[in-house]
Structure 1
Amino acid sequence: MANEPTPPNNDEFHSLLPYDGIKWNKTFDALHWALAEHKVNNIAITGYFGSGKSSFWESYIKQVKENNLDDREIINISLAKFSCKCDKNFKCDENSSEKSKYDVKPSDSGYKVFSGEEISDYDQWRIYQEQKKIEEELEIEIERGILEQILYSVENNEIPASRFKKITDLSKETKILYSLIILSLITCISFFLGHEKIEQIINQYTLTFIICCLLLSFCIYLILPFFNSFHLSKVSYHEFDIHFEDNKGSLFSQNITELVYFFEKLKNKRIVVFEDLDRFKSSTIFSKLRELNHILNNVPSIKSNQIIFIYMIRDDIFSKYERTKFFDFIIPIVPVLTKDNATGFILKEMKEIEKDCGRQYIEDISPFLGDLRLLKNCENEYKIYKSVNESFLRSKLENDNKTLKQSTCQWIFSMILYKNLYPKDFQKLLQHEGLLYYCIHKAKIDYFKKLDEKKDKGN
């Protein structure tokens, strides 16, 4: 058939997943040393967004497994939530014109609100309380996400006493077993309740009594593990309440026994990797995680087999003194692609763009390309958009108009680049709105205005 699709070339497009083919180098030696050092429990892998932290980690894990260098299992925690709550100063809340004006910062008195206008003490207190509430809600959300990803990373039978259970379907055999247990319980209870004196039961139905007792004991033994998942938190009678649980403190402190139990049962899960925590711009969560790591590593049953927390974060998340005090070891990631070497990278790795758009064009746009993942996505989208406009480009080639074809390819790639750098404004452009539309529209008006002026002068 003429329209039958042809299989794509494996090298035609680029995956946006972390690259796991980085060769072993000194940075890998540093991480391997830190993971083997007994007293190093909190390790930071630092680099700006898009510098290659995940690619470095994936490459390390791949080579460690291939060469059997470390048999410890890893728990990966990723909290990639792009919520407006992540901004501590309300600046990304587009629906609140009031909140965006204020910047809440700590001071000797506890807090200070900075703004472009004078505000009363009451307003300062109110804004501070709103800020504090949002931060607390955010921290609870982060802690809940971390707990869920740790405790739900294993099957229910690996941590049978845990209160955190995944929903599972009961097998046919299990349903039959539960039915027999319930039937045995009912039979035993009916037998005992049907007689007034226990001595009479023992004398007249000795064998039956023994069998019922054994069945009852067996049923209780099977049912007991299920009661580990239930905790009595409060008893109420009219207006009288008795509380058995203290729900104060962070979610980590409330569920510390769950975490201790998890790491006691799963002795080989000893490395926990945290990604995307720096997106929330909250340093408090790092302090809580360090405290949690300290508590876990001081539990007698865990102490001999340390638990290591690895944080993939930006360099600027802590000040110069805080970062060296907080972490036991810091590994910087040297980026593969920067704005300075983008030209050489494209000329070497992306021949099609060079051929279509020209070297000078690549040199012009390289200052905007400092993220390898973004550059790969631009190339993928460029190939798709180019294929859609293939008939138009072919007509330019048939007319032997190389300059016009090149300018068309440059226009396509420029639009793709703008789409990736400024996606919101690009969306507005399609609706005849936004900054770029205004600039193009204004340039068009100015162009025709000058043409009219020339015509008037000619006349």
Structure 2
Amino acid sequence: MVNRKYFDALNYHPLSPTTITNKTDSEEFSRIEPYINNLEEATKNPTVKNIAVFGKFGAGKTTVINSFLNQHKEDLHKWSTFLSHETGSNRPVKPDKIRPLQLSTATFTRTMMQEHNRSNDQWIEIERNLVQQMLYGPKNKVLRNSKFRKIEQTGYLRWFIAWLSLLTFLITWFLLIGSPRSLSIFFDKGDLIIAQKFFYMPLLISIGILTTQAFWYFPRYFNSAKIGIGKNELIVTDKHSAFNQYLDEIIYFFSRTKYNIVIFEDLDRADDLNIFEHLRELNQILNSNQLIRESYKVEENHPAIRFVYAVKEDLFDNQMLASHRKATEKASLNKDDKYTNDDESDSDIAEATTKFFDWTLTILPRVSSINAPDFLMQAFSKPTDEFKNYLRAIGGFFEDVRVLENSLNDLKLCLKLQQGNGLNVEKLFTALLFKNGFPTEYQKYLNNIGSLSKLIRTRDFAEQHSKSLRETLKILQSRKETLVKYSQRAVVDHYFYIFMTAGAKTTSRIESQDQVITIRSIKNMSFSSLQRLYTYLKEKNMPQFSSQVQR
């Protein structure tokens, strides 16, 4: 039976990044507040254009960024209202207000499943994805001159006006052009000319309205552009950057939306350094563009747009080593190419990091393999000492907080479904940790393949072999005891013969002068008593008896 007192208090944990405030969680907010203040300083520094937020997966980079943006939620609310109602005016904005744009590329599957066949031009697809997120975000009325039109829901009033205009056009056209004699039924000859002039006005108005509606709606079906691959789409040509192909659209996008902070997430999962180089170039172009600087109304030496990259710490490490391997392989194929550089040292990687980014911030992970057991203990309500020892043993194998939280969620769900009857929490939680922490091996196990499945299939053989070894050990131990007993008896008989040869009798006794050693009867002499006598004589340095005993 499961002890319910320490798992009933389990709570479900969301795996998505959260926004932490001083009101929701003061303790956790105090932990990340220095990071928030660091970002504040970075965004106020006039020389900073590219900011890196370092941290391993699950360290809390997005949580820190969201909490930082939450500090400016009043500015964000005003800015979202501005974008919703902006219709084309060059409304001035305050340069010290935060106006963020968050972009992300989900390349989890592509990176893991196609690592063995990765294309060298993967950055082209990533750039296309980023351009799509930028240009398809705002409404059409914000980007009126953009070639990229989005399908938007039409209001009932606009539909009513369109249908009313169409009906008016048909009626007036029928009365004036299609069947002009029908007006003579209702008007005299003198009033007929005046009536015709009167009906021309709604005809022209309806034509104007219908023409406007046609120019507004038809381009989205016949003239709109789309980023992609196809005969009727704007194609991102191989070996060409999407940023360069749609640079005019990107400049127009920022001049209209006036985003001054662009946050990029998950770019490092693509394992391609080209995208970071192109983004840095794009940042330089945008901050040098006169249209954007006039639109943002920033000072001469201040950047209009800052890029924030949420990436892992070994970004340049992996990329530079990969580049070195490619260069080495190329050199091995071309004997004339004398490539003799060694692997990049830590100083080279550090230099590349500091040259690329103007400001770096490292997020320390909340959970590591060292304190993972403590994190798990806090999730349970007063766990027993035995369960604590189990958590210490199992927690050190995991360092991703999301894996632990996902396992806790699964544990609570399983216990709810089974009502906690007949379940071993330790075995169940171990299985869930294995499922979430090692999903590939877990899927192999479900398909009856892999090392774990093989181990389980051979468990009976292992138990049988272990039983055979235990039986063999038992026999050997029995033999050892027999041999030891026989050897001790032989030693006692040997010295009994020596004493009898020296003239002793079976009833004779041996005593030391200080009465420390006494053998009451030589006949009943045991191995332990003989051992004590021998030790005593050696300590007293009695060579005659020693030599006599030793022969």
Using structure 1 for the length normalisation, give the TM-score: 0.69
SS of the residue 1:445 aligns to: helix
Q: 1:201-240 alignment to 2 at 5 Å?
A: 224=215
Deviation at 1:369, TM superposition (A): 2.1
Contact 1:160 1:225 in 2 (8 A): no
Deviation at 1:314, TM superposition (A): 0.5
2:263 is matched with 273
2:445 is matched with 429
Deviation at 1:341, TM superposition (A): 2.0
Counterparts in 2 of 1:67 and 1:296: CA distance versus 1, 3 Å: closer
Counterparts in 2 of 1:184 and 1:36: CA distance versus 1, 3 Å: farther
One-letter amino acid of the counterpart of residue 98, structure 2: R
Deviation at 1:218, TM superposition (A): 6.8
Contact 2:106 2:266 in 1 (8 A): yes
Deviation at 1:444, TM superposition (A): 3.3
Q: Which residue, 371, 374, 394 being the options, matches 1:341?
A: 371
Q: Which residue, 144, 161, 166 being the options, matches 2:150?
A: 166
Q: How far, CA to CA, are the matches of 1:288 and 1:184 in structure 2? A: 55
Q: Does 1:286 align with 2:276?
A: yes
Counterparts in 2 of 1:455 and 1:171: CA distance versus 1, 3 Å: same
Deviation at 1:296, TM superposition (A): 1.7
Contact 2:10 2:408 in 1 (8 A): no
Contact 1:162 1:228 in 2 (8 A): no
Corresponding pairs, count: 378
Q: Does 1:295 align with 2:311?
A: no
Range 12-21 or range 324-333, more displaced: 12-21
Deviation at 1:158, TM superposition (A): 2.1
Q: How far, CA to CA, are the matches of 2:448 and 2:370 in structure 1? A: 34
Counterparts in 2 of 1:172 and 1:346: CA distance versus 1, 3 Å: closer
Amino-acid identity (%): 28
Contact 2:54 2:360 in 1 (8 A): yes
Q: Does 1:312 align with 2:310?
A: yes
Could you report, residue by residue, the CA deviation over 1:66-121 in whole angstroms, capped at 9, with x for unpaired residues? 7999743322212223233x36xx8744xxxxx6xxxxxxxxxxxxxxxxxxxxxx
1:438 is matched with 454
One-letter amino acid of the counterpart of residue 45, structure 2: E
2:15 is matched with 16
Could you report, residue by residue, the CA deviation over 1:281-338 in whole angstroms, capped at 9, with x for unpaired residues? 0111111112222222222121253122111100111132222111121111111111
SS of the residue 1:166 aligns to: coil
Could you report, residue by residue, the CA deviation over 1:222-252 in whole angstroms, capped at 9, with x for unpaired residues? 655568766699xxxxxxxxxxx99653222
1:121 is matched with none
SS of the residue 2:141 aligns to: helix
SS of the residue 1:392 aligns to: coil
Q: Which residue, 57, 70, 82 being the options, matches 1:62?
A: 70
2:430 is matched with 414
Contact 1:161 1:228 in 2 (8 A): no
SS of the residue 1:302 aligns to: helix
SS of the residue 1:153 aligns to: coil
Q: Does 1:450 align with 2:441?
A: no
Could you report, residue by residue, the CA deviation over 1:349-380 in whole angstroms, capped at 9, with x for unpaired residues? 22348438522222212321211111111111
SS of the residue 1:272 aligns to: strand
Q: How far, CA to CA, are the matches of 2:134 and 2:253 in structure 1? A: 9
1:38 is matched with 46
Q: How far, CA to CA, are the matches of 2:169 and 2:402 in structure 1? A: 62
One-letter amino acid of the counterpart of residue 288, structure 2: N
Deviation at 1:45, TM superposition (A): 0.5
Q: How far, CA to CA, are the matches of 1:444 and 1:353 in structure 2? A: 38
Q: 1:230-269 alignment to 2 at 5 Å?
A: 249-267=240-258, 269=259
Counterparts in 2 of 1:301 and 1:365: CA distance versus 1, 3 Å: same
Q: 1:318-397 alignment to 2 at 5 Å?
A: 318=316, 319-347=349-377, 349-352=378-381, 354-355=383-384, 358-387=387-416, 388=418, 390-393=420-423
Q: How far, CA to CA, are the matches of 2:419 and 2:464 in structure 1? A: 28
Flag the structure with larger Rg: 2
Q: Which residue, 53, 65, 87 being the options, matches 2:61?
A: 53
Counterparts in 2 of 1:353 and 1:436: CA distance versus 1, 3 Å: farther
SS of the residue 1:427 aligns to: helix
Q: How far, CA to CA, are the matches of 2:136 and 2:444 in structure 1? A: 41
Q: How far, CA to CA, are the matches of 1:386 and 1:232 in structure 2? A: 54
Contact 1:274 1:311 in 2 (8 A): yes
One-letter amino acid of the counterpart of residue 440, structure 2: K
Counterparts in 2 of 1:442 and 1:232: CA distance versus 1, 3 Å: closer
Counterparts in 2 of 1:415 and 1:162: CA distance versus 1, 3 Å: same
Deviation at 1:206, TM superposition (A): 9.8
Counterparts in 2 of 1:372 and 1:456: CA distance versus 1, 3 Å: closer
Contact 1:47 1:314 in 2 (8 A): yes
One-letter amino acid of the counterpart of residue 380, structure 2: K
Range 301-310 or range 51-60, more displaced: 301-310
Q: How far, CA to CA, are the matches of 1:457 and 1:338 in structure 2? A: 43
- List gaps (5 residues or longer) in structure 1: 1-8, 94-98, 100-130, 193-204, 234-244, 394-407
Counterparts in 2 of 1:457 and 1:320: CA distance versus 1, 3 Å: closer
Q: How far, CA to CA, are the matches of 2:213 and 2:307 in structure 1? A: 37
Deviation at 1:384, TM superposition (A): 2.2
One-letter amino acid of the counterpart of residue 323, structure 1: T
Could you report, residue by residue, the CA deviation over 1:186-245 in whole angstroms, capped at 9, with x for unpaired residues? 999xx99xxxxxxxxxxxx99999998887677666655568766699xxxxxxxxxxx9
Counterparts in 2 of 1:378 and 1:454: CA distance versus 1, 3 Å: same
